[in-house]
A and B are shown apart, each in its own frame.
Chain A
Amino acid sequence: MKDELIIGGKVLQNRLFVGTGKYADHKEMKEAIQASSSEVVTVALRRVNVEANEEDILSDIPENITLMPNTSGARNAEEAIRIARLSKACGMGNWIKIEVISDHKYLLPDNDETTKATEVLSKEGFVVLPYMSPDLMAAKRMKDAGAAAIMPLGAPIGSNKGIRMKEMIQIMVDEMDLPIIVDAGIGKPSEAAEAMEMGADAVLVNTAIATAADPIQMAKAFDYAVKAGRIGYLSGLGPVSTKANASSPLTGFLG
Chain B
Amino acid sequence: MTFYNKFVEVKDLPFHDMFQAVTPLDVERVLGKERLTEQDYFVLLSPAAENYLEQMAQKAHKLTVQHFGKTMQLYLPLYLSDHCVNICKYCSFSLDNDFPRRRLTMEEIDRESKVIADMGIKHIILLSGESKLHSSIDYLKESLKVLKKYFSSIAIEIQPLDQDEYGELFKHGIDGLTVYQEVYNEVIYRDIHVKGPKKDFRYRLDTPERGAKAGMRSLNIGALLGMDDWRKESYITGLHASYLQNKFLETEVGVSFPRMRPHAGSFQPKVNVTDKNLVQALLAIRLFLPRSGINISTRETPEFREALLPLGVTKMSAASSTVVGGYSEPDVTQSQFEISDDRSVEEIKNLLKSKGYQPVLKDWELV
Contact = CB atoms under 8 A, between A and B. Distances in A.
A73 interface: yes
Contacts of A59: none
Interface of A: 21-26, 45-50, 53, 55, 73, 75, 79, 82-83, 86, 101-105, 107, 158-160, 207, 210-211
B249 A103 contact: yes
Interface of B is mostly: loop
Contact of A24 (B66, B249, B356, B363): B356
B68 to A, nearest CB: 7
B70 interface: yes
A158 B66 contact: yes
Contacts, number: 76
Given A53-B120, A75-B250, A158-B66, 8 more contacts: A21-B69, A23-B70, A24-B356, A50-B152, A50-B365, A105-B249, A207-B66, A211-B70
A83 B363 CA distance: 13
B365 A105 contact: no
A61 to B, nearest CB: 15
Contacts of B120: 53, 55
Nearest to B71: A22
A207 B365 contact: no
B15 interface: no
Interface of B: 65-71, 120, 122, 152, 217, 245-246, 249-253, 291, 353, 356-358, 360-365, 367
Contacts of A55: 120, 361
Contacts of B245: 104-105
Contacts of A46: 362-365
A211 B356 CA distance: 11
Point out which of B120, B249, B360, B361 has the most chain A C-beta atoms below 10 A from its C-beta. B249
B365 A211 contact: no
Contacts of A210: 69-70
Nearest to B252: A104
Contacts of A103: 249-250
A104 B249 contact: yes
A25 B363 contact: no
A219 to B, nearest CB: 15
Contacts of B361: 49, 55
B208 to A, nearest CB: 14
B246 A105 contact: yes
B69 A82 contact: no
Nearest to B367: A82
Contacts of B122: 49
B367 A86 contact: yes
Contacts of A45: 365
17 contacts: A22-B70, A24-B357, A24-B358, A47-B362, A49-B361, A49-B362, A73-B364, A79-B367, A101-B250, A103-B249, A104-B252, A104-B253, A105-B249, A158-B66, A160-B66, A207-B66, A211-B65
